[in-house]
Copies of this chain bind each other. A is one copy, B any other.
Amino acid sequence: MITDLDALMHSQNLDAILITGPAHHNPAMAYFTGRANLTHADLIKKAGEAPVLFFSPMERDEAGRTGLATRSLADYRMQDLLKETGNDQLKATVLRYRKMLADLEITSGRLGVFGRIDAGSAFAIFSGLMQQLPELEVVGQLGDSILMQAMATKDAHEVERIRQMGEITTSVVEKVADLLASQKSSNNILVMTDGTPWTVGEIKKRINLWLAEAGAEDPEGVIFSIGRDAGVPHSTGNPGDVLELGKSIVFDIFPCEGGGGYFYDFTRTWCLGFAPDDIQTVYEDVLSVYRQIVSELKVNTLCRQYQERTCELFESRGHPTIKSNPMTMEGYVHGLGHGIGLHVHELPRFGLLSTNLDVLSPGVVVTIEPGLYYPDRGFGVRVEDTLWVRPDGEIEILADYPYDLVIPVA
C-alpha cells in the first residue's frame, strides 16, 4: 500500500522519489493523484515526508483536487530557464528539476525516478541532473521497483475502484452473452437478421462501445477468439472469423477506468448452441481445477505453490503441463494468475521458479485463470476471476458471474 512507501524507500536507501508525466495512463503518477486529470506534472516525495505535486498553472484546479501539497510550475518558468541556458531545452529542463529539488532541499542522496516520458528524454534529463549535482545519485528500478512493491497490496479505496471495474466488466460480458443468445444461426453460423454472419470483429466493436458507454476502456485490447485461435493463449481473435456453433470461444476482457486507472481481468469460455463432448470434458476439468484452487487459497502462503498445485491437478486428469514439460504447447501452458491494479500485470507472481517468493499477503488483488489449450484439436478453454485477499484473510471474488459453458442459440 501507499502507506508502505516510506519503509520501502528506506529498504532501498532512497532519500526521495520523483515521478513525472501525465496523470492519465501513467500508473506511477496516478497512484498519487487519483482521478485528477493532469496533462503534465511532477511529483517529489522525500523519505518520511508527504509528496509535493508540481502542477502546470493551467491545471491548478485539477491539482487542488488531488488533496496533495502543491507547487506551481509557474515558479519555474521555462522561458526564464531557456534564457539562463542559452536557449538549450535540455539544460533548461535539467535546471528546472535542480531548482525544484533544491526548493525541497534535495541536493544529494539517492533519488528514485519513475513515470511516463520519452525514453530518450528521461535518459538525457536524469544524466544531466547527475552531472549538475555530483552528490545526487539517480536510481532507475526495473521490475520489482518500490512502487510495484507498494502497489502489490491495495487499500479499501483501491479495492472499491477495482470492484466497480468488475461490475462494469461483468455487465459488458452479460451484454455480449445476451446479444449472442438473441441471434439466429444459419448453417451452424451465427447470423444477423439480414443473414450477414456475425464476426469476431463485430463483437469486439460492441464490446468497445459498451465499455466506452460505461466510462471504461481496454488499452491492452480484448481477447475474443474462437476454435483453433482459442487454443492459442495469446491470440486475441481474428476480426474476420465467423461464430460457428459448437466451437469454444475464449472471451478474456481486461479493461480499466477511462483515462487509465484500475483494471479488472475476467475470462469465460463459451460454446454457442451446444458443446461437443471433448470441449465439455476439458471445460469441466478447468472449472473444477479453478474451483479447487480458489478453495485452497490461503492468506500469507507462497503463490508459486498454487501454480505447482494447478499443474498436479491437471496432470492427474491426464493433461500435459509446463511443469512436466516447460516447452509444451498443449494442455496447461501458462501461469495461474497475476496481481492486478493500476497495471494489468502487477505483483504478486505465480511463477514456478524457486526464486519466486511472492506471497498472498492481505490486500493483494490477483487473477486466478487456469486454462487448457489444444490448438490441434481446435479448441482452448480458460476461466478467470479477479480475487481480493481481504485484510481478515478471507478470499473474495470481486465480481460474480455464472460459469455456463453453453449459450443457447435459436
Q: Which residues of A contact B (CB under 8 A)?
A: 20-21, 24-25, 28, 37, 39, 58-59, 87, 89-90, 93, 112-127, 138-145, 205, 208-209, 211-213, 215, 217, 219-221, 234, 236, 258, 355
Contact = CB atoms under 8 A, between A and B. Distances in A.
Contacts of A220: 39
A205 B115 CA distance: 28
Given A117-B119, A217-B217, A219-B25, A87 B138 contact: no
A120 B93 contact: no
Contacts of A93: 142
Given A37-B221, A219-B24, A220-B39, A142 B90 contact: yes
B209 A118 contact: no
17 contacts: A37-B236, A87-B355, A89-B142, A113-B119, A116-B116, A119-B126, A120-B140, A120-B141, A122-B122, A122-B140, A123-B123, A123-B127, A124-B140, A124-B141, A125-B140, A208-B258, A217-B217
Contacts of A205: 213, 215
Contacts of A124: 139-142
A116 B114 contact: no
A125 B143 CA distance: 12
A345 B357 CA distance: 45
B127 A118 contact: no
A208 B140 CA distance: 36
Contacts of A127: 123, 127, 140
A-B residue pairs, 10 tightest by C-beta: A124-B140, A120-B140, A119-B122, A212-B212, A123-B140, A122-B122, A123-B126, A58-B234, A89-B143, A113-B120
B120 A112 contact: yes
Contacts of A59: 234
A103 to B, nearest CB: 21
Contacts of A20: 119
Given A209-B209, A212-B208, A120 B143 contact: no
A116 B113 contact: no
A213 B209 contact: yes
A209 B214 CA distance: 10
